[in-house]
Amino acid sequence: MDIKKIISEMTLEEKLLMLGGQDGWHFYGVERLGIPAIRVCDGPHGIRVHTDQNEVYLPATNFPTASAMASTFNPQLIHLAGKTIGEECRHYGVQVLLGPGVNGKRSPLAGRNFEYYSEDPYLSGKIAAAFINGVQSNKVGTSLKHYIANEQETSRLFISSKVDERTLREIYLTPFQMAIEEANPWTIMGSYNRINGVYGCENDHTLNTILKGQLKYDGLVVSDWGAVNDKVESHKYGLDIQMPGPVDIDERLKQAVLNGEIPMAVIDDHVTRCLRLHERVFKPGDTVDTDLDKNHETAQKVAAESIVLLKNEKILPLKKNTKIAVIGRFADDQVRYNGGGSSWMLAHKIERPLEALKAKAKVIYASAYDQEKVTKKTETEALAAAAKAKTVLFFTGTTASMESEGFDRSSIDLPKQHIALLKKIHKVNPNIVVILN
């Protein structure tokens, strides 16, 4: 692709259109010059993809969360996970995967902790680089997010992260810098929040001075969906594409270019980065086959290596064919495997603990609750199951209404009715293993 020649043939209007989304899930192309639109898709743990016509979601492999991926301490395995997800992107015609996320974990209450790798910036950088290299080996781009200092969900649209320069660089920038140097993600997503009073998508210091200047990042910077506060300020200070679309040509932006407030060289740099992405990704229609059952086995390997075994000489490990009470719908039809928000997807296959346990033990099952609610009937059934078993496996944890993108948790407490039931079960059978989801 001769990017300079294409830019020389583009009108100002065509250039400005490329700086915004065509719709919610496409970047603009230039049809007149044979440049197609680029399709993007959510999915740091597996793609959330739908048909263009009727918004019907299509099945994909659900991988363990980012926090579990980092717990493997195995970059080679995470490279394979990324490669597998990239293959599924290619299969479904998705050219950019909106992930991974490398923000830190400042608090156990943060609503997206499950979606980020680690509180350790070095581990986050290493795992992210492996994942990115895996995805991009399929000519599918990634979108490293959320740049930068975006560690909370509550008030994320206007909160200001107050951080000194040394801390910014040593803690918050480190995973981004490592991923850029070791994998060069083809896009980076700007964050909602402000950094020291200036919005992330119009922050000259973080976008131009650090990212595009000192780190020499040559990819495309896209806004988080709805993160642009001022279109002119954003494109003046480093943002390449505003999402979501449709984004029309803004007369104020056009006049800022015509009167020299934004030099044409700046606009051409934005367009160059957009076209560079077009050059890197596979072309529409150039899809591949994929085996979702085989891909699920890769996800199982990641899950297995994410497990940390602790020594327990009293109740664990359980003996095969022992009589156990499995209590709680999180073990069955309400199994917790999806994070709320951008990580939600339609899983091709779901592992249910109840099914797996039935193959290894004599199981008495009681549903116990519906999400957070325990009724008198389900409580009675749970207590009866506990009384008949040698050991109780009690499944509990956070529900979708407690932990998701868009808000932080109000506490680290488990559902109150779950805890009340657990105390009653303990009086009937004290041999309890609690499984937190």
Give catalytic residues, as residue numbers: 224
Q: What angle do CA 219, 145, 22 make, to 5 degrees?
A: 65
- The phi, psi pair for 15, rounded to 5°, reads -65, -45
Q: Which one-letter amino acid corresponds to residue 414?
A: L
Distance (Å, whole) CA 2 – CA 164:
42
Instruction: Count how many residues are written for the chain.
Output: 437
Distance (Å, whole) CA 352 – CA 335:
7
Residues 6+ apart with CB under 8 A from 47: 41, 60, 85, 88, 89, 92, 94, 97, 345
Of 195, 212, 203, 216, the closest CA to residue 270 belongs to 212
**Residue 420: how many CB atoms within 10 A of its CB?**
12
- The arrangement of strands across the sheet holding 187-190 comes to 21-23, 26-27, 38-42, 96-98, 141-147, 187-190, 220-223
**Token pair for 260:** 């020299």
Distance (Å, whole) CA 150 – CA 190:
10
Q: Which one-letter amino acid corresponds to residue 110?
A: A
